[in-house]
């Protein structure tokens, strides 16, 4: 790979300006984990099926394994490293923990990102809508019992 | 209580779903995991690490004529290229059959079988180096079917025959057998095909191997048995075991997939040769190629009962496909043979099971372990016989249960248990069963079906397996009581179970206990976190020696306080006097003691059946379940609506842990029935990622209701049974029987595709 084919992109990462120099097709997930040391988003399928790498771009959920660096210019990316520390995700984390929505935990950061996104929507979706929105989040440990209980707690009418 | 132990009884101590939920407390690690702070082995990404890549075989079966890696080794940025020739010690590993090469030298036996590997500055350079390796292979006959593998003249994958293992058990001589058959009014026979299920751990195999700067090696790598991994790697590198340290926790899912080593030896070899830290993390397709799967099995069952609905004979023939290497295959086959009997009383029994090497990937350990494959087949047989007799399936099962003190499935001595009886009794009083006549049967478009199943399943490894284990208790400088095990945490709530068990047996508070887990350098060899054994093992260790160790601490406390030990009472936080006033805390004792702090290694002896039946088990837990499914007759879609499980596993140690294991296992069992089969053609996978291989999602999850029966037989010597697997075992047959009831079709093959349902509906509208 010659340097000429690399691009430089400026974006906002967790509220701070960030700049990376990489191939245009490099995925955001690699940028986050390998280049910037943010390992909260997890690689598990690489094809956008499992949601373990879910982050927000301009406030909307995206699978970081699919998003190419060439689309990052000027965007705002938020990851679990920031969202997971803030009050906005606290009810979600608490509900998942209390309801038994976490075991091995590898799907957890992506779940929190998706659920927090749904939880802060106005109007807030009901439990049925929220459940339907979770069709891209795969958990292999819990059988979703804890997740469903958390959803019912969070999105009760 | 003067109750006769054999008298049928109803469960007395039952945790209902609401109380389990009410008592379920959040895991200690929940928030760290949910906020992305937990560092898994594959998250150990640091500057200066080399990137590993593996050259896997493009052919499922071939002779390796030559591997020329000289051009690859010469590329700038490449720090090590390894082939089989670079392995200093034994190149083969394997749990009990040592047959799997870390890197193949002369032959490849499955698709993706590793031939060479590279460590380079970047993944791109590593991939370029792989492309520069010149490989000459001579294709060999591909064995892609277990029956063909055993046919005369088939090319042997190892040694002289593809028959890796076989088991035969027979109860009844020829005359008894003939009499048993003659007594039968109803005989059912079918051939069942159980699929190649994939574990789909969200964290694929990976981690970091790095030189420790002192002539040894550290491996950060998720696994189920760090101590074993280090022994294999040390031997391979020609090092004493003490020079290798394996940290195997936390694990992003395993379910058996990480019980055996996969590519750790390759990472270790690259780190050893390059002298640098090497990171390797498999992509999902590579994980599909290199990881183990659930053994596909073809199971013929022929079973009969008399006109009163009493089982008379059961004949089972199992053919299992272990793929290219043995790993846990023989033990899986042993478990299949043993569990094909079920908790039932068969006067005449014949079991024959064979395990064949093929080029179909590699099959190994998977939660439910050999039993899952045969239990749905057995429960179909039982349902079919009950229907033939016109007896309801619950009464039919009750009528045919083995006595609580009867010998085990293979005639071996076992711990007495009436778990199956209690579980059935619990189901019998559930509204879904009592009001079954009122359940919906059909509407314009849908049909509903109710399925009942009963299973028992073994705890621990079978006779002759690595059933013992060691763990340590220690007082830490900060006053915490450390319980040190080399078992790993994979999501199963091991730390919660350890805290709860320690508090129960030692008399301290759970907050006084610090579990130290998953590091071969910090704990004695506890063995594998597998076979539903961890909870029971910790329980037994603490029951045997926990109090004695606390008494020794009390002696030390008494010496420190200059008071007789008999005047002190140990409880949460430390010691109090006869009036209950706190007089010494654990932390104070730790601070005051001079010299090494007290610690004790507890060796838990293997507890096995005394009967000379290789692989047979000693302890069983039981579950019964009811599943309700809804079939869409337009599309053939299958929806599992409800699953009611009654578990008979003894005292509940951690309500959250139990609930999670049961719910998660149940959905995994459902996946086996509904979608999960990793198909192969000519020994190549037809899917390598989660687009072609589909696991259940939230929308597929049924409403699961767990009733946890805590009763055990009087004088039960074991205590809590493991809960890590049995939900897989029970969910699959319950759902199979429900589909069968809804559509009126026999189920002979899993998963049940919508087309199978539509075909059945066309045949029997």
Q: Compute the average pLDDT of residues B707-720.
A: 94
CATH topology of domain B41-56+62-140+200-290: Aldehyde Oxidoreductase; domain 4 (3.30.365)
Which is nearest to A113 in space by CA: A30, A25, A53? Answer: A53
A146 CB within 8 Å of a chain B CB: yes
pLDDT value for B10: 79
| Residue pLDDT, tens place only, B15-34 | 999 999 999 999 999 999 99
Distance CA B242, CA B264 (A): 17
Q: With an 8 Å Cβ cutoff, are B36 and A80 in contact?
A: yes
**pLDDT class of B8 with cuts at 50, 70, 90:** low
**pLDDT class of B439 with cuts at 50, 70, 90:** confident
Distance CA B642, CA A145 (A): 12
Q: With an 8 Å Cβ cutoff, are A40 and B663 in contact?
A: no
- Alpha-helical segments (H) within chain A: 28-30, 80-83, 90-99, 108-119, 127-133, 145-154
| Residue pLDDT, tens place only, B459-472 | 989 999 999 999 99
Closest CA–CA distance from residue B651 to any residue of chain A (Å): 20
Distance CA A7, CA A142 (A): 41
Q: With an 8 Å Cβ cutoff, are B663 and A112 in contact?
A: no
DSSP string, B469-522: EEEEEEE-TTS-EEEEES---SSS-HHHHHHHHHHHHH-S-GGGEEEEESBTTT
Question: Under a CB-based contact definition with an 8 Å cutoff, are residues B752 and B638 in contact?
Answer: yes
DSSP state of B242: G
Mean pLDDT of chain B: 96
ipTM of the predicted structure? 0.98
A145 CB within 8 Å of a chain B CB: yes
Closest CA–CA distance from residue B633 to any residue of chain A (Å): 23
Nearest chain B residue to A138 by CA: give it.
B697
Q: Angle formed by the axes of helices A108-119 and A90-99, to 10°?
A: 120
Q: Compute the average pLDDT of residues B402-422.
A: 97
Which is nearest to B404 in space by CA: B9, B94, B65, B40? Answer: B9
Chain B, 122-161: which have a CB under 8 Å from a chain A CB?
A: 124
Q: With an 8 Å Cβ cutoff, are A103 and B34 in contact?
A: no
| Residue pLDDT, tens place only, B507-528 | 999 999 999 999 999 999 999 9
Residue in B32, B691, B701 closest to A49 by CB: B691
Quote the percentage of chain B above a pLDDT of 90. 95
Taken in order of first residue, the domains within chain A and their CATH numbers are 3-82 (3.10.20.30), 87-154 (1.10.150.120)
pLDDT value for B6: 45
Measured from the Cβ of residue B689, the count of other Cβ atoms closer than 10 Å reads: 17
Report long-range pairs for B688-692 (Cβ below 8 Å, ≥24 apart): B688/B284, B688/B285, B688/B288, B688/B289, B689/A45, B689/A46, B689/A47, B689/A49, B689/B284, B689/B285, B689/B288, B690/A45, B690/A47, B690/A49, B690/A50, B690/A138, B690/B200, B690/B284, B691/A47, B691/A49
Which is nearest to A41 in space by CA: A58, A31, A55? Answer: A55
Contacts of B659 in chain A (CB under 8 A): 100, 145
| Residue pLDDT, tens place only, B263-318 | 999 999 999 999 999 999 999 999 999 999 999 999 999 999 999 999 999 999 99
Q: How many residues appear in chain A?
A: 157
Contacts of A154 in chain B (CB under 8 A): none
Distance CA B179, CA B469 (A): 46
pLDDT value for A4: 65
| Residue pLDDT, tens place only, A108-126 | 999 999 999 999 999 999 9
Chain B, 491-530: which have a CB under 8 Å from a chain A CB?
A: 491-493
B76 CB within 8 Å of a chain A CB: no
Nearest chain B residue to A84 by CA: give it.
B35
Residue in A47, A81, A148 closest to B36 by CB: A81
Q: With an 8 Å Cβ cutoff, are A104 and B667 in contact?
A: no
pLDDT value for B2: 41
Q: With an 8 Å Cβ cutoff, are B35 and A131 in contact?
A: no
Chain A, 71-110: which have a CB under 8 Å from a chain B CB?
A: 79-81, 84-85, 89, 92-93, 96-98, 100, 102-109
B345 CB within 8 Å of a chain A CB: no
Contacts of B200 in chain A (CB under 8 A): 138, 140
B663 CB within 8 Å of a chain A CB: yes
The tokens for B717 are 């010597």
Same fold, B41-56+62-140+200-290 and B293-463+611-763: yes
Quote the percentage of chain A above a pLDDT of 70. 97
Distance CA B524, CA B540 (A): 16
Which CATH architecture best describes the domain B293-463+611-763? 2-Layer Sandwich (3.30)
* β-pairing verdict for B186-194 and B297-305: antiparallel
Distance CA B652, CA B16 (A): 12
Q: Which residues pair with B483 in a beta bridge?
A: B473, B515
Distance CA B571, CA B633 (A): 62
**pLDDT class of B4 with cuts at 50, 70, 90:** very low
Closest CA–CA distance from residue A76 to any residue of chain B (Å): 19
| Residue pLDDT, tens place only, A123-143 | 999 999 999 999 999 999 999
B367 CB within 8 Å of a chain A CB: no
Chain A, 6-65: which have a CB under 8 Å from a chain B CB?
A: 33-34, 37, 39-47, 49-50, 52
Helix (H, G, I), strand (E, B) or coil at A63: strand
Residue in A45, A80, A106 closest to B284 by CB: A45
Each domain of chain B, given as residue ranges in start order, spans 41-56+62-140+200-290, 293-463+611-763, 468-604
Residue in B31, B253, B701 closest to A144 by CB: B701
Statement: residue B596 has pLDDT above 80: yes
DSSP string, A9-53: EEEEETTEEEEEEE-TT-BHHHIIIIIS---SS--SSSSSSS-TT
For A64-87, give one letter per residue: b (16+ CB within 10 A) or e: bbebebeebeebebbbbbbbbeee
B278 CB within 8 Å of a chain A CB: no
A120 CB within 8 Å of a chain B CB: no
Distance CA B625, CA B451 (A): 8
The tokens for B514 are 């610090």
A138 CB within 8 Å of a chain B CB: yes
CATH topology of domain B468-604: Aldehyde Oxidoreductase; domain 4 (3.30.365)
| Residue pLDDT, tens place only, B120-170 | 999 999 999 999 999 999 999 999 999 999 999 999 999 999 999 999 999
A144 CB within 8 Å of a chain B CB: yes
For chains A and B, CB pairs below 8 A equal 175
Residue in B24, B252, B664 closest to A106 by CB: B252
Mutation choice for A interface testing from B39, B198, B252 by most A CBs within 10 A: B252
Question: Under a CB-based contact definition with an 8 Å cutoff, are residues B207 and B219 in contact?
Answer: yes
pLDDT value for A3: 57
Q: With an 8 Å Cβ cutoff, are B690 and A141 in contact?
A: no
Residue in A41, A50, A105 closest to B690 by CB: A50
Q: How far is CA B736 from the centre of its chain?
A: 21
Statement: residue B7 has pLDDT above 70: no
Specify burial of residue B347 (Cβ count, 10 A radius: 0-12, 13-18, 19+): middle
B577 CB within 8 Å of a chain A CB: no
Distance CA A99, CA A147 (A): 7
Quote the percentage of chain B above a pLDDT of 70. 99
Chain B, 466-495: which have a CB under 8 Å from a chain A CB?
A: 490-493
Residue in A40, A134, A140 closest to B36 by CB: A40
Nearest chain B residue to A82 by CA: give it.
B35
pLDDT value for A2: 47
Question: Under a CB-based contact definition with an 8 Å cutoff, are residues A62 and A136 in contact?
Answer: no
The tokens for B765 are 């509208």
Nearest chain A residue to B697 by CA: give it.
A138
**pLDDT class of B403 with cuts at 50, 70, 90:** very high
Q: With an 8 Å Cβ cutoff, are B697 and A146 in contact?
A: no
Q: What are phi and psi of B706, to 5 degrees?
A: -115, 125
Q: How many residues appear in chain B?
A: 765
Closest CA–CA distance from residue B413 to any residue of chain A (Å): 34
Distance CA B621, CA A27 (A): 47
Question: Under a CB-based contact definition with an 8 Å cutoff, are residues B304 and B186 in contact?
Answer: yes
CA angle B333, B334, B339 (to 5 degrees): 95
pLDDT value for B205: 98
C-alpha distances (whole Å) from A134 to each of A112, A129, A151, B478, B611 are 11, 9, 10, 44, 51
Statement: residue B484 has pLDDT above 70: yes
The tokens for B459 are 């705890």
Mutation choice for A interface testing from B22, B33, B125, B655 by most A CBs within 10 A: B33
Specify burial of residue B477 (Cβ count, 10 A radius: 0-12, 13-18, 19+): exposed
């Amino acid at each position: 790979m010659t340097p000429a084919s690399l691009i430089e992109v400026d974006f906002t990462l967790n509220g701070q300006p960030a700049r990376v120099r990489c191939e245009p097709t490099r995925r955001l997930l690699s940028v986050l984990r390998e280049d910037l040391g943010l390992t909260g988003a997890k690689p598990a399928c690489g094809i956008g099926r499992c949601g373990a790498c879910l982050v927000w771009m301009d406030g909307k959920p995206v699978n970081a394994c699919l998003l190419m660096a060439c689309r990052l210019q000027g965007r705002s990316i938020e990851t679990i490293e920031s969202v997971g520390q803030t009050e906005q995700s606290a009810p979600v984390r608490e509900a998942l923990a209390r309801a038994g929505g976490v075991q091995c935990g590898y799907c957890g950061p992506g779940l929190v990102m998706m659920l927090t996104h749904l939880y802060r929507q106005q109007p807030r979706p009901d439990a049925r809508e929220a459940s339907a929105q979770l069709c891209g989040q795969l958990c292999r440990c819990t059988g979703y019992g804890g997740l469903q209980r958390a959803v019912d707690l969070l999105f009760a009418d | 209580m003067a109750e006769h132990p054999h008298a049928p009884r109803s469960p007395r101590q039952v945790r209902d779903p609401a109380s389990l939920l009410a008592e379920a407390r959040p895991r200690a690690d929940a928030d760290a995991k949910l906020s992305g702070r937990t560092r898994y082995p594959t998250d150990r990404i640091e500057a200066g690490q080399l990137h590993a890549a593996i050259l896997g075989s493009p052919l499922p079966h071939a002779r390796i004529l030559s591997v020329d890696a000289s051009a690859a080794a010469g590329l700038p940025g490449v720090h090590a290229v390894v082939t089989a020739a670079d392995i200093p010690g034994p190149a083969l590993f394997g749990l009990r059959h040592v047959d799997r090469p870390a890197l193949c030298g002369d032959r490849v036996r499955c698709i993706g079988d590793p031939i060479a590997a590279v460590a380079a500055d970047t993944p791109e350079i590593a991939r370029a180096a792989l492309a520069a390796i010149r490989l000459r292979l001579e294709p060999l006959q591909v064995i892609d079917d277990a029956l063909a593998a055993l046919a005369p003249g088939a090319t042997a994958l190892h040694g002289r025959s593809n028959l890796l293992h076989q088991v035969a058990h027979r109860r009844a001589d020829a005359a008894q057998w003939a009499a048993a058959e003659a007594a039968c009014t109803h005989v059912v026979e079918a051939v069942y095909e159980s699929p190649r299920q994939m574990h789909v751990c969200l964290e694929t195999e990976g981690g970091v191997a790095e030189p420790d700067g002192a002539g040894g090696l550290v491996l950060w790598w998720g696994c189920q048995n760090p101590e074993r991994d280090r022994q294999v790697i040390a031997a391979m590198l020609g090092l004493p075991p003490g020079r290798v340290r394996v940290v195997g926790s936390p694990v992003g899912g395993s379910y058996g997939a990480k019980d055996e080593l996969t590519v750790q030896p390759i990472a270790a070899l690259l780190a050893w040769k390059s002298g640098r830290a090497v990171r390797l993390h498999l992509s999902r397709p590579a994980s599909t190629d290199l990881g183990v799967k659930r053994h596909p099995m073809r199971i013929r069952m022929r079973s009969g009962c008399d006109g009163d609905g009493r089982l008379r004979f059961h004949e089972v023939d199992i053919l299992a496909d272990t793929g290219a290497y043995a790993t846990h295959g023989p033990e899986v086959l042993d478990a299949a043979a043993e569990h094909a009997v079920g908790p039932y009383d068969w006067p005449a029994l014949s079991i024959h099971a064979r395990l064949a090497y093929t080029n179909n990937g590699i099959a190994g350990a998977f939660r439910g372990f050999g039993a899952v494959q045969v239990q749905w087949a057995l429960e179909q047989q039982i349902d079919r016989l009950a229907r033939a007799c016109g007896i309801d399936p619950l009464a039919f099962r009750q009528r045919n249960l083995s006595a609580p003190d009867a010998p085990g499935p293979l005639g071996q001595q076992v711990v007495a248990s009436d778990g199956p009886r209690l579980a059935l009794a619990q189901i019998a009083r559930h509204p879904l069963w009592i009001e079954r006549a009122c359940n919906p049967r059909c509407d314009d478009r849908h049909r509903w079906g109710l399925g009942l199943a009963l299973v028992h399943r073994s705890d621990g490894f079978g006779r002759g397996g690595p059933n013992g284990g060691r763990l340590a208790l220690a007082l830490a400088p900060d006053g915490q009581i450390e319980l040190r095990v080399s078992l790993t945490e994979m999501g199963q709530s091991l730390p919660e179970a350890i805290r709860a068990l320690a508090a129960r047996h030692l008399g301290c508070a759970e907050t006084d206990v610090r579990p130290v887990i998953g590091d071969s350098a910090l704990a004695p060899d506890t063995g594998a976190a597998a076979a539903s054994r961890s909870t029971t093992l910790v329980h037994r260790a603490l029951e045997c020696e926990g109090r004695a160790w606390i008494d020794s601490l009390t002696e030390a406390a008494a010496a420190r306080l200059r008071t007789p030990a008999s005047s002190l009472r140990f409880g949460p936080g430390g010691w109090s006097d006869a009036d209950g006033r706190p007089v010494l805390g654990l932390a104070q004792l730790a601070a005051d003691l001079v010299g090494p702090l007290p610690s004790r290694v507890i060796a838990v002896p293997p507890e096995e059946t005394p009967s000379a039946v290789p692989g047979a088990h000693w302890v069983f837990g039981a579950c019964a379940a009811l599943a309700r499914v809804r079939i869409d007759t337009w599309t053939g879609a299958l929806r599992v609506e409800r699953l009611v499980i009654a578990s008979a596993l003894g005292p509940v140690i951690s309500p959250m842990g139990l609930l999670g294991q049961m719910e998660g296992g149940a959905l995994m069992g459902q996946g086996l029935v509904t979608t999960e089969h990793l198909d192969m053609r000519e020994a190549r996978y037809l899917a390598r990622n989660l687009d072609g291989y589909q696991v259940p999602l939230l929308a597929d999850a049924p409403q699961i209701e767990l009733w946890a029966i805590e009763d055990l037989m009087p004088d039960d010597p074991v205590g809590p049974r493991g809960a890590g697997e049995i939900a897989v075992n029970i969910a699959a047959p319950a759902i199979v029987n429900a589909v069968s009831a809804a559509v009126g079709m026999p189920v002979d093959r899993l998963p049940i595709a919508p087309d199978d349902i539509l075909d059945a509906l066309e045949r029997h509208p």
